[in-house]
Chains A and B, each alone.
Chain A
Amino acid sequence: QVQLQESGPGLVKPSQTLSLTCTVSGGSISSGSHYWSWIRQPAGKRLEWIGRIYFNGGTNHNASLKSRITMSVDTSKNQFSLKLTSVTAADTAVYFCARGSWVEKGVWFFDLWGRGTLVTVSS
């Protein structure tokens, strides 16, 4: 079955760039009926949607994170990635990757998630 796995450094220094990759196994990232998202959860707080990317590279992101986000997709490796620049302690969180799926117009949901990876921003 399709599985998602996050990977990347667990510790990032303030003002540097957080980089994470999500590897999709058991299925193709190039499916037109899915998109691929990043979601994070600071300790004790609610989940926050970061953004999504389609297999063709089209993206949407949370406007509250402004221009700090870059997302990319590598269909040859079945991976998609997140870069978050100028990080601060407020970016410390468990980062999840997730697959968005749809069954009909207007009906979208995240049907598969990774287990999440903790990223700590600290000097």
Chain B
Amino acid sequence: AQSVTQLDSQVPVFEEAPVELRCNYSSSVSVYLFWYVQYPNQGLQLLLKYLSGSTLVKGINGFEAEFNKSQTSFHLRKPSVHISDTAEYFCAVTLPMDSSYKLIFGSGTRLLVRP
């Protein structure tokens, strides 16, 4: 079965500092990878996705992620965070072979940006 691990439940960081949110997945088959952000009282919003091609994926709001097949990782990075980036971030996978394309989520990482 597939699973997603986000080891850091909370990441505090100062404004304008770089940040990396870690995501590792477990799967015996190839997967598609996603990062979603959840702001308070709002629905999840897609930040970026990796389906194929270049392993470096750029998303919205200055975020990027790198797919590393050997490490089974898809870490999210931003070179300089803003207060407004404070939110919950979820890594997710789906199976290309599964016609449902249902998302399997990690437990989330709360990014707390301090002034």
A binds B: no
